[in-house]
Amino acid sequence: MAQLSSIHPESYEDEVWHGTHAATLRQLVFGVNDGLVATIGLVAGLTFAGARQGTVLGATIAAILAAVVSMALGSYLSTRTEVQYHQAQVVREEREIEQNPQEELNEMRQIYRGYGFAEDEIQVFLNRFLQDKKLWLNLMLRDELGIVQENFENPWTNAGLMALAVCIGSVPPLVPNFFSTHPQSVFLWVLGLSALTAFGLGAVTGRFSNKGFWRSGLSFLLVAAVAAGIGMGAGHLIAPIFGK
């Protein structure tokens, strides 16, 4: 039997469309959507509360900076915690293989029975595991716990992607206010750019999720529209309380 050094050899050339971009896509969608929804809600609320250009720009930029830092830090901490948890699982399984090999072999036997392998086929696997504990550990992690060490995410990469995504989502609703001293007069541009951003984000995710260009784009657009509606409603309710 040929030497099996890993469950996914380096020489193996996978199809491009299989990819391992789920984590990147998740960070981008989460960040862009959060930045867009929060910013359009804030801009809408301030605009309909009668705020001036300086107030809209100052408050929104401050909120964007806070969101970028908060979301990036949250992404870093959550990713690091997840990786540390999985690493602890790896250490535990490695220890159990050394201390209780027969029990671990029985667990693998039950797993492969569930897959439908015959007893003689399962025994081939178990004999191989006794010869190659690294392969045994990798398959134990994958088949029992669903852990693949090569897929551990990088906390710093995720934090950077999240920060970038929040910035990308936050900019469109703010841009029109740089070109007019009257936020109310450019609010339609705010809505238009936000709608295009939301639809574009949905369309991109639709390409990877097979939900379709229009369906996915419109679903994201709906979320942004709800946020804008809440912001405008809040502005109308709050303005009379504090005065314009």
Q: What is the pLDDT of residue 61?
A: 95
Whole-model pTM: value is: 0.76
Mean pLDDT by 10 residues, the chain (244 residues): 44 46 77 86 83 91 94 93 90 87 87 88 88 86 81 89 93 92 90 88 76 80 78 68 59
Residue type at 188? L
CB atoms within 10 A of CB 99: 9
Q: What is the pLDDT of residue 240?
A: 62
Of the candidates 198, 204, 174, 199, the one whose C-alpha atom is nearest the C-alpha of residue 187 is 174
Q: What is the pLDDT of residue 70?
A: 94
Can you tell me the distance from the alpha carbon of 91 to that of 97, in angstroms, rounded to the nearest whole number?
A: 10
Contact 174, 39 (CB under 8 A): yes
Q: Sketch the domain layout of the chain as residue ranges.
A: 26-96+160-242
Q: How far apart are the first and last CA of the chain?
A: 80
Q: What is the pLDDT of residue 242?
A: 62
Q: What is the pLDDT of residue 104?
A: 86
